[in-house]
A and B are shown apart, each in its own frame.
Chain A
Amino acid sequence: NAGVTQTPKFRILKIGQSMTLQCAQDMNHNYMYWYRQDPGMGLKLIYYSVGAGITDKGEVPNGYNVSRSTTEDFPLRLELAAPSQTSVYFCASSPSGATYEQYFGPGTRLTVT
């Protein structure tokens, strides 16, 4: 299993540009999450999904959108990028059931200038 994969690893955007951060998992997990991590800080939940076709907002959803058309994929869309969105973005997945351990991808480092 590849686990949770994220692309790209790094990206520099200009203010106002848009992009999609890709996330895929091959563990057949129902739950998927997007977090952002600012320097020296903890992770903040942006959006999450409990299954294909179902998404919900987390703590900091403004400026982002998600979709979940398949179990495997959970892309994060940034519209009109702003400097405040400079961060490291982590995607995670977890199985439904008795354990809620989350498996994280390697992250995407995004800089908006």
Chain B
Amino acid sequence: GESVGLHLPTLSVQEGDNSIINCAYSNSASDYFIWYKQESGKGPQFIIDIRSNMDKRQGQRVTVLLNKTVKHLSLQIAATQPGDSAVYFCAEMPGGYQKVTFGTGTKLQVIP
């Protein structure tokens, strides 16, 4: 079936560097994408979202890029901090906005 997946299971980044977390999706009908952060022992927390009619959206220290041509989503974190260490999930929502499909997740490790 259609699914959302991530290229890298673990990403190690030096504190202060920028991080890029990638996500591939296969459902071309997906209309809305979300990035979540999950710290150990906690539920996922919303970071940023983007609709399919956009190719870039910026938040505080985070930027999401959407390339619909190759069905690719990325999350860029500027000046990565130790508090950014977590598992990051991308999620997609097809039209209807009721069902969310989560990817497997990428663990981000920040090296002090």
Residues of A that sit less than 8 Å from B by CB: 4, 31, 33, 35, 40-45, 48, 50, 56, 58-59, 90, 92, 99-107
Contacts and interface: CB of A to CB of B under 8 A. Distances in A.
Contacts of B42: 106-107
Interface in B72-112: 89, 93, 97-105
B99 A100 contact: no
Contact-size category for B:
20 to 34
A99 to B, nearest CB: 7
Contacts, number: 54
Nearest to B97: A100
For the complex of A and B, list the 8 residue pairs with the smallest distance between their C-beta atoms, beginning with the closest.
Answer: A104-B43, A42-B102, A43-B102, A101-B46, A42-B104, A100-B97, A104-B44, A90-B43
Contact of B44 (A43, A56, A99): A43
Contacts of B100: 33, 45, 100, 102
A92 B99 contact: no
Interface in B31-87: 32, 34, 41-46, 49
Nearest to B3: A42
A106 B43 contact: yes
Contacts of B34: 100-102
A4 to B, nearest CB: 8
Given A102-B46, A104-B43, 20 more contacts: A4-B43, A35-B102, A40-B105, A42-B4, A42-B89, A42-B102, A43-B44, A43-B89, A44-B102, A45-B99, A45-B101, A48-B99, A58-B99, A101-B34, A101-B46, A102-B34, A102-B44, A104-B44, A106-B42, A106-B43
Contacts of B41: 107
A26 B99 CA distance: 22
A63 to B, nearest CB: 19
Given A31-B98, A33-B100, A41 B43 contact: no
B106 to A, nearest CB: 10
